[in-house]
Amino acid sequence: MGKSTYLSYLSEELIGGGATVLRHHYWLGSSSVIDRIRSEHAIKSMMFQLQEAFPEHVQMSHIEEMKFDECVRAVSKILKKKGKNLVVIVDGLDHVHRDRPDISQLTHLLNRLIPLKEDVCLFFGTQPIDESYLPNSLTIAAPKKLWIDLPPMDLASTRSWLVGLHDASSFLLNGSKNHVDRELNEISEALVAKTKGYPLHLIYSVRDLLAKDRHLSAYRMEDILPCPNGDIREYYQNLWNGLSTGSKDILLLIACVQFPWPDKGNLSKCYTDSLGFQKAFGAVNHLTEQRQSGIYPFHGSLTVFLHATEEFKDMFDILMVRVKNWLDDGAPDYWQWGWKWLIEASLGNPTVLLDGVTKDWTLHSVSSGYSIDHIDHIIAVSEDYALKKGLYSELVRLRGVRIRVLNGPEQQIQDQALFQKCALSLQKDEYPKLLKLDNLRFLSDEEIKILPAVSRTLDYDICKMCFSEALRRLELAVKFEDRGGPEFSTSFPPG
């Protein structure tokens, strides 16, 4: 398994063993509009997690005043009396230097965390990275020679993964049922030999092979592109060198925006040659993932690679014009609402953004069930433009609107869950619900309960996904309580 997958597994195992785990990941995919690199956001995120587990010890006033150290030490003291640990997992350190010209925000965060190492068990996750891109506080406290490298997938784990895919009918074998075990053994051995068990290379390779033919065999493993030294950037470069201009263009169009494209059909509207688009997309389909809420890069490292290419830098403005044309020519409602003004502003016309963000627009957006985070993002970008242009009265107006948006759910709405349920029920656009479905693990208990209720039809898949997530949380809560953790108030209605 990959680094982040392992850390997710580790987190659940630790929680199951009675530990309290706080997590922060510097990369959540291209659809996230929250600036997760800012140390303030990272600390507040972990404080909210701490408040959920220990509401009697972490008050809103603590979060507002950023009393992180004080709260962590208080909770850690309580847990240690019970023989339990407070664990903090920070993943994706390698994303910071790729996203920002400096690592000051990461430094601020680690300068708060590392002095707590006597009270907290700290885990940091990163892809291979030069120490110069990490804060001195980390490399001094944990020299690189002490780091633990996650081992690649061995033959047994690779075979187990393939068995799961085969049982799910994801691929077919050439022989009869009597030869299934032999064929799976042969494929596993050939796959490990070609990929060295590097998880992402292994997954990409199988996805690529299956996109061309659903029959797998050991012989087909010879077609796998190399990934020297387990460096996925080398795999991308090898693939990039052999791609057509059309395939490169599609990847760049996916990478140039913060949002997921709705589907392949909408992406194809940016091209005049529909047949050529289908062929070009097929060559890179294995690098993408179609979720409920749209087309995403399968892994964040792909976006990082694409942003570093000369083609991306040279074509960025052209790509953004094509995105604007798509938005102007009938993109789905959510993209019209959430991205049209932002794209126009990035192309040099911030007036539409500054004129559009009003109190009425904000009320309409909130009452339509749109994400508070995305509403806040739009207002924040508007503030940046107002500041750059010296429009200080406009900046004050926007900040007033923004404060109302951020404080409203807690201070102005008596029952936020009921309000959200009504908003989503009345919203004709299904996309806000689909976006929530793709982010179930980040939703509150109340939001999980709401989703099946606001589905226009009693969709079995939606009910099943929400039930599975609710069950996962309850199982973790039960394990936690059985091992002496604090009582949880997590509850879901019967039926």
Query: With pLDDT > 70 as the criterion, what percentage of the chain qualifies?
Result: 92
The verdict on 280 and 321 lying in the same domain is yes
Q: What is the pLDDT of residues 393-414, one digit of tens each?
A: 999 999 999 998 888 777 667 7
- pLDDT for 63 equals 76
344 within some domain:
no
Give the total number of structural domains in the chain.
3
Any domain includes 68: yes
Give the Cα separation of 250 and 266 in Å (integer): 12
pLDDT value at residue 29: 52
- 259 with 320, same domain: the answer is yes
What mean pLDDT, rounded, does the chain reach?
A: 86
User: pTM score, two decimals?
Assistant: 0.84
Domain range enclosing 217:
155-238
Query: Is 166 found in the same domain as 51?
Result: no
Share of the chain above pLDDT 90, in %: 47
Quick one: 299 and 230 in the same domain? no
Band (pLDDT 50/70/90 cuts) for residue 28 is: low
Q: Give, rounded to a whole angstrom, the gap between the first and last alpha carbons of the chain.
A: 35
Are 137 and 45 within one domain? yes
Does 319 reside within a domain?
A: yes
**Does residue 140 sit in the same domain as residue 35?**
yes
pLDDT bin (cut points 50, 70, 90) of residue 421 is: confident
Q: 19 with 114, same domain?
A: yes
What is the pLDDT, as a whole number, of residue 457? 59
- Answer yes or no: do 253 and 292 share one domain: yes
Q: How many residues does the chain have?
A: 495
Which range among 260-264, 279-283, 360-364, 453-457 shows the weakest confidence by mean pLDDT? 453-457
Q: Residue 479's pLDDT is what?
A: 65
User: Of 45-49, 179-183, 403-407, 417-421, which has the strongest mean pLDDT?
Assistant: 179-183
Residue with tokens 């509009």, as numbered in its chain = 33
Distance CA 225, CA 235 (A): 7
> Are 266 and 193 contained in the same domain?
no
Does residue 173 share a domain with residue 292? no
Comparing 230-239, 374-383, 415-424, the range with the smallest average pLDDT is: 415-424
Quote the CA–CA distance of 121 and 114 in Å, as a whole number: 10
Q: Is residue 402 part of a domain?
A: no
Q: CATH number for the domain including 85?
A: 3.40.50
Average pLDDT of span 25-44: 69
Q: How far is CA 465 from the centre of its chain?
A: 18
Higher local confidence (pLDDT), 379 or 175: 379
- Residue 407 falls inside a structural domain: no
More confident residue, 17 or 265: 265
Residue 362 lies in a domain: no
128 and 169 co-located in one domain? no
The residue from 238, 256, 271 where one domain ends is 238
Phi, psi of 296 (to 5 degrees): -120, 150
Q: Kindly report which listed range (17-31, 266-280, 321-335, 464-478) carries the lowest average pLDDT score.
A: 17-31
In a domain, 221, yes or no: yes
| Cβ proximity of 208 and 227 under 8 Å | no
Q: What is the pLDDT of residues 79-131, one digit of tens each?
A: 888 888 899 999 888 877 766 667 888 888 899 999 999 889 999 998 877 88
Query: 130 and 27 in one domain?
Result: yes
Residue 174, burial from CB neighbour count under 10 angstroms (0-12, 13-18, 19+): exposed
Instruction: Write down the residue that tokens 């479905």 correspond to.
Output: 437
Q: Which of 146, 168, 187 is the last residue of a domain?
A: 146
pLDDT at 491: 39
Last residue within a domain, chosen from 309, 331, 353: 331
Domain membership flag for residue 175: yes
Q: Is pLDDT of 494 > 50?
A: no
